[in-house]
Structure 1
Amino acid sequence: MSYMVSIVGRPNVGKSTLFNRLVGRRKAIVHVKSGVTRDRIYGKSEWNGVHFSLVDTGGYNPSHNNLLDAEIIKQILIAIKEADVILFLVDIKIGILDTDIEISQLLRKHKKSILLVVNKVDNGKYMYHNTDFFRLGFREYYYISAINGSGTGELLDRLIEILKALGRKEIVEKEVIPRISVIGRPNVGKSTLINSFLEKNHHIVTNVSGTTRDSLDVLCKKWGYKCILVDTPGVRKKSKISESLEFYSTMRTVKSIEYTDICLLMVDAVRGWEAQDRNIFRLVEKNQKGIIILINKWDLLNPGKNCSIQKNFEIFIRKKIAPFDNVPILFISAKNKDGIYNILPIADQIFQIRKKRLKTNLLNRVMLPIFQKNPPPSVQKKLITIKYCTQLPTSTPKFIFFSNFPHYIKESYKRFIENKIRDHFDFRGVPIQIFFRKK
């Protein structure tokens, strides 16, 4: 079991900036608008050889003005309970507010190791502000600037002392396990699916579209499978990205796709397959990631479980995603957990398929007779032949075919080759790249 450190504080005190500073990359969105972080965001950090997990939380707002505020507070309470050490962040420029006092009282109830972190000391003169942080009642406090890093070394030194005193040996995950990103349009049920996998409310779920703004990852061990599940913000049409924050969220989803192994593309059954679903699918294909299409809320569209409706829906989607139509399509209800138990086994199969390497002699033995029977169409009276093929030693399936006139081979024949590879070898749910070279 690894160490867990949670960052807690009211909105806009710099929690996400400190989180990014400690994990070493811009994982959490940082914005001048307060209240940007809503879910718990996890990251890994290390200091002086000690590894620990870091949790960024939403800003604590005691007003409970809406459902979202109440859900954020639930997430903060979970982060407090999970933590071995809590970094309680306050803002030296604003000083102590009633909310800070309320948070301090809340933290003391949980009897955790707490370090008071006075942030935004971007200039030494702020250290002498007449702000009485002592009345928050904590023995240890540290002046830092999360934005430029000053003071964080001393803070980390003390944090590691506390963690070592726990007498628990941290575990550094060395085995390679698949990263599975749940992607799709806003409000299709991505967070609900992850909560159903974990059987707890790990992520905030409301009927408000766009609740998730960061990409959030969590270790999942279920039914004999282990993976990192990544919840992502919904990808909107460009014309609907009306504020910079939505743009950042969309880019975060795109980046999640780049750093994942398998994507679960969730589609709202009631709204049907739309152009934006196809755009997201092509983005996954372009990045050479494994993919499973999940038709969510199927219980609402087809409560009678009519097989012909399901079959027609599947045929329609496969026509839309052709030629890469050899993709698992599952009909589920994330809320009711219908059909979700097949997802991880199939994802594990696709993870293994992406690493598949075909022996060159086997590939040529299967493919060369096909080329002899169905050669590429002649161009300018030139007889085009393919003499040899091999799979490249890359992390995803890429094949190179040697021809006497590779530049004359048309895209339609390239698709023909891909279909024949899929007919003879199992590359279900995995994009294939094909290249032609002069022989």
Structure 2
Amino acid sequence: MSKPIVAIVGRPNVGKSTLFNALAGEMISIVKDTPGVTRDRIYADVSWLDRDFTIIDTGGIEPDSQDIILSQMREQAQIAIDSADVIIFITDVRQGLTDADSQVADMLRKSRRPVVLAVNKVDNYKSQQMDVYEFYNLGIGEPFPISAEGKQGIGDLLDAVVSHFPEHSGEEEDSEIPKIAIVGKPNVGKSSIINKLLGENRVIVSDIPGTTRDAVDTTITRNGKDYIFIDTAGLRRKSKIKEDIERYSIIRTVSAVERCDVAVLMIDAAEGITEQDAKIAGIAHDRGKGLIIAVNKWDLVEKDNSTMKTYTEKIRSVLSFAPYAEMLYISAKTGQRLNKLFDAVDQVLESQSLRVPTGVLNEILTEAIAMQQPPSDKGRRLKIFYMTQVSIKPPTFVIFVNDRKLMHFSYQRYLENRIRDSFGFQGTAIHFIIRERQENGES
């Protein structure tokens, strides 16, 4: 099930990052007074009325600007709008309705997405009521007065946002066809790999900005089985600003990974693994998706007997949070080992849907506890009563314990390793939910 995506859009300095942080519950974005400094973490998971969704904070849209940073922010906001299920359009009551707001509203109307209008910095609704009403002139519906800083009015705003979600968001009709997202930094060969698998140039690879701005879904059949490949290419703008390009690709990646079953992270063999690659892998890991690392352009690397081993160790070290990821060394250009990609995808899909019977699981647990005592703190020892698998995609286990605080991360990792040793789970994250229960069995 993919979560709906909500994009926060508006001019610079209207409070997008402040609202984002209020919803995310922590200070994530950098907030400064210079237009265009929102560069840090830009997405977060939010729950409201039992609905889970992902929010994306866009750079400020400056509709007419010729300035390179602001014009790229406009393009990046457009990508977020194209990816979103619902848009929060945020304006500033103190600055009043501006021409730029009207231009942004026109841009949003063309997107044909549901738009919820937020009027920010309303500290006293009674005295500012007429100023809020002015925003009806945008012609995109009722303005919701909020104070992102004071966290006022946000509940009504979110009620309106979730009312636009489909009843069963993420339940797509073709959900039995596995979805594979090809992700990675710009120019690592994402479109080329799909072209090679298709045997034709269906995905446009070109230097024209925005040629593949919308993620392209391509169905490929192999051995009578269909796979939907989601391509996140299209970041071909020659940008002077590395952070901007990175931000674009993060927005696209969140949206593609949200929809996929398995993410294939492509790494450029000549360049090696980078921090940006780790960020992209982290998105797939956080969302519990299957993960395959495909090192592309392997044909261009000079090799000796230990090249692959050294390369693998380096990748494993940078992606230490996802030791389960499958790895392939390929060439999209020559087709080297591309046939292995489908085998790896099938293996990961099988792992994601694997269910372990509770009896067998608790035998493994008993054995693991006997081999390594659970941790203790101030004389109180962690007791683990019981474990059961509650869902798949990703495989999720509930562990009942006497005190959640005593379940150290390192011991949880130890139990995860024991489960992986016994059942494999190659290529997929495993999630644990730790629940407290009294010794007599009461939760």
Q: What TM-score do the two structures reach when normalised by structure 2?
A: 0.57
1:383 maps to which of 381, 384, 395: 381
CA-CA distance at 1:249 after TM superposition: 5.9
Name the residue aligned to 2:360: 362
1:279 Cα deviation after fit: 0.8
Q: Give the deviation of 1:248 after TM superposition.
A: 5.8
How far apart, in 1, do the equivalents of 2:197 and 2:173 lie? 21
Asked if structure 1 preserves the Cα contact closer than 8 Å seen for 2:182 and 2:231, the reply is yes
Task: Give the aligned partner of residue 309 of structure 1.
Answer: 307
Query: For residues 345 and 377 of structure 1, what CA distance do their matches in structure 2 show?
Result: 40
Deviations along 1:74-123, whole A, 9 cap, x unmatched?
Answer: xxxxxxxxxxxxxxxxxxxxxxxxxxxxxxxxxxxxxxxxxxxxxx9xxx
Residues 1:324 and 1:250: Cα distance change in structure 2 (over 3 Å): closer
Instruction: Kindly indicate whether residue 298 of structure 2 is the aligned counterpart of residue 298 of structure 1.
Output: yes
Shift of 1:240: 2.5
1:240 corresponds in structure 2 to 242
How many angstroms apart in 2 are the aligned matches of 1:241 and 1:309? 31
CA apart distance, 1:173: 7.0
Cα distance between partner residues in 2 of 1:429 and 1:275:
21
CA contact (8 A) 2:324 2:429 kept: no
1:204-227 Cα shifts (integer Å, max 9, x gaps):
224789864321101111244311
Aligned partner of residue 266 in structure 2, secondary structure: strand
Deviating above 6 A after TM superposition, structure 1's stretches of 4 or more consecutive aligned residues are: 207-210, 234-239
Q: Where in structure 2 are there 5+ consecutive unaligned residues?
A: 1-62, 65-70, 76-109, 111-138, 141-171, 438-443
CA displacement at 1:242 relative to structure 2: 4.0
Q: Distance in 1 between matches of 2:317 and 2:241?
A: 26
CA distance in 2: counterparts of 1:250 and 1:437, whole angstroms: 33
SS in 2 for 1:230: strand
**Is 1:231 aligned with 2:252?**
no
2:416 counterpart letter in structure 1? E
Helix, strand or coil at the partner of 2:387: strand
Alignment match, 1:270: 270
Aligned residues, how many? 278
Aligned residue among 343, 346, 350 for 2:344: 346
One-letter code aligned to 1:426: G
Q: Equivalent residue of 2:374, what SS?
A: coil
1:214·1:252 contact (CA, 8 Å) conserved in 2? no
Q: Deviations over 1:33-78 (max 9, x none)?
A: 9xx9xxxxxxxxxxxxxxxxxxxxxxxxxxxxxxxxxxxxxxxxxx
SS of alignment partner, residue 392 of structure 1: strand
Deviations 1:125-175 (A, max 9, x none): xxxxxxxxxxxxxxxxxxxxxx99xxxxxxxxxxxxxxxxxxxxxxx9757
**Partners of 1:235 and 1:382 in 2: CA distance:** 54
Task: State how far apart, in whole Å, the 1-side matches of 2:225 and 2:301 are.
Answer: 30
TM-score, normalised relative to structure 1: 0.57
Kindly indicate whether the alpha-carbon contact (under 8 Å) linking 2:354 and 2:392 is maintained by their aligned counterparts in 1.
no
| Residue aligned with 1:181, SS | strand
Change (3 A) 1:174 1:256: closer
Secondary structure in structure 1 of the residue aligned to 2:435: strand
Equivalent in the alignment of 2:252: 252
SS at match of 1:338: coil
Give the aligned residue type for 1:233. Answer: A
Give how far 1:203 is off: 1.0
Distance 1:283 1:195 in 2: 25
Whole-Å separation in 2 of the counterparts to 1:390 and 1:199: 45
1:423 alignment partner in structure 2: 421
C-alpha distance in structure 1 between counterparts of 2:399 and 2:333, whole Å: 47
Determine the structure 2 residue equivalent to 1:220. 220
Q: What is the identity, as a one-letter code, of the residue corresponding to 1:336?
A: T
**SS of match in other structure, 1:336:** coil
Q: 2:366 is matched by which residue type in structure 1?
A: L
Counterpart for residue 335 of structure 2:
337
| Corresponding letter in the other structure for 2:192 | T
Give the alignment partner of residue 404 of structure 2, picking from 403, 406, 427: 406
User: CA separation in 2, counterparts of 1:325 and 1:209?
Assistant: 36
Distance change in 2, residues 1:256/1:221 (3 Å): same
Structure 2 distance, partners of 1:269, 1:260, is 24
Three-state SS of the structure 2 residue aligned to 1:273 is coil
Structure 1 gaps, min length 5:
1-30, 37-119, 121-146, 149-171
2:382 and 2:402 in contact (8 A); partners too: yes
How big is the alpha-carbon RMSD for the aligned residues of Structure 1 and Structure 2?
A: 3.5
CA distance in 2, matches of 1:389, 1:178: 29
- Contact kept? 2:383, 2:402, Cα under 8 Å: yes
Quote the offset at 1:382 in angstroms: 0.9
The percentage of aligned residue pairs carrying the same residue is: 35
- CA positional deviation for 1:371: 1.1
Aligned to 1:193: 193
Contact 2:185 2:249 survives alignment (8 Å): no
Amino acid at match of 2:354: K
- Residues 239-266 of structure 1, C-alpha deviations (whole Å, 9 max, x = no match): 62548xx856642331111111001100
Check the 8 A contact 1:182/1:190 in 2, yes or no: yes
Quote the Cα distance in structure 2 between the aligned partners of 1:288 and 1:210. 30
Contact 1:219 1:227 in 2 (8 A): yes
Partner of 2:39: none
The whole-number CA distance in structure 2 between the counterparts of 1:435 and 1:378 is 20
Q: Is the 8 A contact 1:269 1:296 kept in 2?
A: yes
Which whole-Å CA distance do the structure 2 matches of 1:209 and 1:362 have between them? Answer: 54
CA distance in 2, matches of 1:234, 1:325: 29
Structure 2 CA distance for aligned equivalents of residues 214 and 284 of structure 1: 20
**Displacement of 1:285 after TM fit?**
0.2
- Whole-angstrom distance in 1 between the partners of 2:235 and 2:383: 43
Q: Which residue does 1:205 correspond to in 2? A: 205
Does the 8 Å CA contact 1:368/1:386 hold for their aligned counterparts? no
Aligned twin of 2:182: 182
